[in-house]
Structure 1
Amino acid sequence: MSELAIVGVSGSVTRPSRTTALVRAVLDRLEARSGLTPRLIELVDAAPHLFSALTWDRVAGEARAIVRAVEQADLLVVGTPVYRASYTGALKHLFDLVHHATFAGKPVLLAATGGTPLHGLVTEHQLRPLFGFLNALTLPTTIYAVEADFDGHRLASPRIAERIERAVGEALEQVGRRPGAEEADRRPVLAAG
């Protein structure tokens, strides 16, 4: 497993962020169980770079490195706060810039945070269709946490910890089955600029 790339994306555009804490908790469990060191991309930092380009052919510099890291990941953990019953615009923009061919069969663990249980289906009705369009393999177990699941910005819910453990098990099982991700990347390398 030492050559696999695990990338987490927090769609939050604020700091501190419960969404980032949730994604980090998932990445910590993945690291503990796999021995791999995941990368966390926080859109609070990455969004200004990403918004410098409106289409993938205009992506350069730091934005290109971010897009490439997402495209080349063997496993993605994607989390978003719920904004107006959906994911953040910054998260959508990132996935507007990626090349869809790099996602065929890629395992994606979905997570979200919200202020109320009423938004708990955002992973099913918003995130899962986005990654379905990209032809990714979204894992069966999703993680949704509300403010009461945190102590400040630290995850404190045993119920959410159990879901994380189950989702991490599914994720590691899938990356063990996936053929090399490099076969899926058919986009030409972008020129520096």
Structure 2
Amino acid sequence: MSRLSIVAVSGNTHRPSRTRFLVEAIAAEVGGWRSIDLDVFDLLDIGEEISAFSRDALAPRAAAVIHAIEAADGLIVGSPVYKGSYTGLFKHLFDLVEPHALAGKPVIASATGGGHRHALVVEHQLRPLFGFFGAQTVPTAVYAGREDFADGALSPPLQQRVADAAFEFDRLLSLGNTDRRPVARVA
């Protein structure tokens, strides 16, 4: 079986970051199911280059990240919660992705916040974002509050959600959806 290209994107704007830690933990769990080629990016890796208003104006580093996202076999994404949603720069990054490029791709969506009152961000913000692209988000939402990170490790309930999402992601990858035509949209 050939190695699949997985891109993990974290919407963190500082380091250290619980969001990046969670995204990397999810990627490690996915790597336990199969051999993958993994690229992990966060907004700090892209820097100010992401502020371009169009794809044509992107500097090389930001353009390479967009290309990696579009070319990946699957995505692991995460964002910290700011004012009830994902970060604006995280959204802008995906605004620069070609709409048809993610059609059919498996996606694990995750978010981190101060407490569990923001847990539905994955369902009400991230899932619709990737639904627009026609991507296949796994059924298990992965949200982590501050209390889910103790002593540099994931809490047992969070670790279980990560494991469940990785299993579902692996199943979607196994389907081998190579037909990446755009999903028909109602105007």
Root-mean-square deviation (CA, aligned residues, Å) is 1.6
| Structural mapping, 1:103-182, within 5 Å | 103-151=102-150, 154-180=152-178
Residue in structure 2 matched with residue 46 of structure 1 by the alignment: 46
SS at match of 2:36: coil
Residue 60 of structure 1: CA displacement? 3.7
Question: What's the secondary structure of 2:175's corresponding residue?
Answer: coil
**CA distance in structure 2 between the aligned counterparts of 1:88 and 1:151, rounded to whole angstroms:** 24
1:87 matched residue in structure 2: 86
State how far apart, in whole Å, the 1-side matches of 2:98 and 2:29 are. Answer: 28
Q: Structure 1's 47 and 129: CA in aligned 2 closer, same or farther, altered over 3 A?
A: farther
The Cα shift of 1:9 comes to 0.4
Contact 1:101 / 1:134 at 8 angstroms: preserved in 2? yes
Is the 2:115–2:147 contact (alpha carbons within 8 Å) kept by the matching residues of 1? no
What SS does structure 1 have at the residue aligned with 2:128?
helix
**Identical aligned residues as a percent:** 43
**Runs of 5+ unmatched residues, structure 1:** 186-193
- Report if the CA contact (8 A) 1:139-1:170 is conserved: yes
**What secondary structure is seen at the aligned counterpart in 1 of 2:62?**
helix
Q: In the TM superposition, what whole-angstrom CA distance separates every residue of 1:69-106 from its partner, at most 9, and x where no partner exists?
A: 00111110000000000000111011010001111111
Aligned-pair distance for 1:184?
4.9
Cα drift, residue 134 of structure 1: 1.1
Instruction: Please give the secondary structure, in 1, of the residue aligned with 2:77.
Output: strand
Where does 1:96-107 land on structure 2 (aligned, <5 Å)? 96-107=95-106
TM-score if structure 1 supplies the norm length?
Answer: 0.89
The residue that corresponds to 1:4 in the other structure is 4
Deviations along 1:164-193, whole A, 9 cap, x unmatched? 111001001101113337x559xxxxxxxx
Deviations 1:37-72 (A, max 9, x none): 311111122142222x21123224111110000011
Verify the 8 A CA contact 2:43 2:90 in the aligned structure 1: yes
The answer as to whether partners of 1:80 and 1:87 remain within 8 angstroms in 2 is yes
Residue identity matched to 2:101: T
Contact kept? 1:103, 1:184, Cα under 8 Å: no
Using the size of structure 2 for normalisation, the TM-score is: 0.91
Q: Deviations over 1:148-169 (max 9, x none)?
A: 11136x3330111111111001
Deviation at 1:2, TM superposition (A): 2.7
Paired residues of 1:107 and 1:139 also in contact (CA < 8 A): yes
